Amino acid sequence: MNLAEEVKTKAAAYRAGQITDAEFSAFMDDAEARAAQDATAQRARQWRNAGYAAAEGAVVGKQVTGRQVAPLGLDEESSRALYEAVVSRQSLQVKAFSSPDSLLPAQLVPNVLGPVHENRILDRLPVQAISAPSVEYIRHNSTTGAAAVVAEGGLKPELVLNTQQMTATAQKIAAHTATTYEAISDWDSWTGYVQAELFRQIIDVENAELLGGAGTTGHLTGLLHTSGILTHDHSADATGVTTLDAVEMSIAALRTGAALAEPDLLVLNPLTWSAMRREKDSQNRYLVAPDPTQGAASSLWGVEVLVTTVQAAGTGLLIDSSKFGRVLLREGLSLRTGSANDDFTHNLVRFVGEERLALAVERPAALLSITGLPTS
């Protein structure tokens, strides 16, 4: 029986379960060695017939293993593949190990990492919805004359109320942006992010208008630019007066002013608030929080501190939110969506965000601007 017949016989026995995997593998190893030996001998005979010395003379006629002649480390699966190739008289190709790891796409974080925005100042102020584009109200600025004790039959003093008609006109803050229909269809998170970022950009402008609007056409008259608010210049204070003293003096000025205001909010730039918290006494102890490890200070003289970069460094604003007035909201933040004209033909979906609001400062004396504070 030649080698090919032996392989067929053993393969049939292996399929029938008559021999184990180990026995079949051992047989195939021996078959490989015998096949290699026969091939070497045949090549040697051919070379001798051609007049050349046998290159494999060192192994011709010797009992060696296949791994010595042609080193192969075949597992059971490869051995079976080799057998199938021998039986079908076809060549055997073994693919080298290849990992698909480098072909895999990177994991996409579901949320967009966008810019960070300041908190909304409107959340800290009183708001009233209105149904008209503007609101008129009467402000009582001062009183001429004063009440007095009057004797029987005496002339009573006259009081003259000095009033002023005020008009608060709602201003529009708006923006729009577009994204492709494909992006909306393929990535839900992107759609939500675009809408939220549109609102945040509008709120950034809203913050700036409420605090420092110039009052020119198309702009609100911000709290800091409202005529009649109280002021305190810390740079004009006497030597030895700290910034903490300046804030307390300003609180007292509000309480004794025309509005008898008691502030509940102090708006500061982060740099100014940092400088104030770092003030120390002659023994190098912090004034705001003697032990900073016991928690960060978030209030001053019982007044909550609101930190925002919208406020200019070096300036603070004390607010009595119960007396100064209110924000008049004609149209809250709204979102509209559409595709028209070029947007439709370019597969774009456009988002429009807008709001309309006015600022009615009914009692300017309930506000106080502190200047001359540190900027770093």
In a domain, 102, yes or no: no
CA angle, residues 217, 222, 228, in degrees to nearest 5: 110
Average pLDDT over residues 298-322: 94
Residues 284 and 141 in one domain: yes
Same-domain pairing of 272 and 346 = yes
Q: Within this chain, do residues 290 and 323 fall inside the same structural domain, yes or no?
A: yes
Q: What is the dihedral of CA 365, 368, 371, 375, to 10 degrees?
A: -160
Question: Which residue, 301, 299, 318, is CA-closest to 232?
Answer: 318
pTM: 0.69
115, part of any domain: no
Q: Would you say residue 105 lies in a domain?
A: no
Same domain, 285 and 168: yes
Number of domains in the chain: 2
Q: Classify residue 316: in a domain, yes or no.
A: yes
| pLDDT, tens digit, 9 for 90 and up, residues 314-353 | 999 999 999 999 999 999 999 999 988 899 999 999 999 9
In a domain, 101, yes or no: no
From the CB of residue 189, how many other CB atoms can be counted at a distance below 10 Å? 12
User: pLDDT at residue 67 above 60?
Assistant: no
**Cα 74 to Cα 339: distance, rounded to the nearest angstrom:** 65
**Can you give the C-alpha Rg of the chain in angstroms?**
45
7-65 confidence digits (pLDDT tens): 778 777 777 778 777 777 777 777 777 777 776 666 656 555 554 444 445 555 556 55
Q: How far is CA 100 from CA 93, 96, 103, 104, 105, in A?
A: 20, 13, 5, 7, 10
The per-residue pLDDT for range 225-253, each reduced to its tens digit, is 999 999 999 999 999 899 999 999 999 99
Is 329 domain-assigned? yes
Same domain for 277 and 354, yes or no, is yes
Give the pLDDT confidence of 98-148 residue by residue, as tens digits.
677 777 888 877 788 888 899 999 999 999 999 999 999 998 888 999 999
Q: Does a structural domain hold residue 103?
A: no
Length of the chain: 376
Q: What token pair was written down for 343? A: 């947007």
- Confidence category of residue 1, pLDDT binned at 50, 70, 90: low
Residues 217 and 341 in one domain: yes
- Same domain as 126, residue 162: yes
Question: Of the candidates 61, 96, 131, which is a domain's last residue?
Answer: 96
Asked whether residue 196 falls in the same domain as residue 288, the answer is: yes
**What is the span of the domain harbouring residue 357?**
121-371
Q: Which of 306, 310, 129 is nearest to 203 (CA)?
A: 310
Q: State how far the Cα of 26 lies from the Cα of 52, in Å rounded to an integer.
A: 35
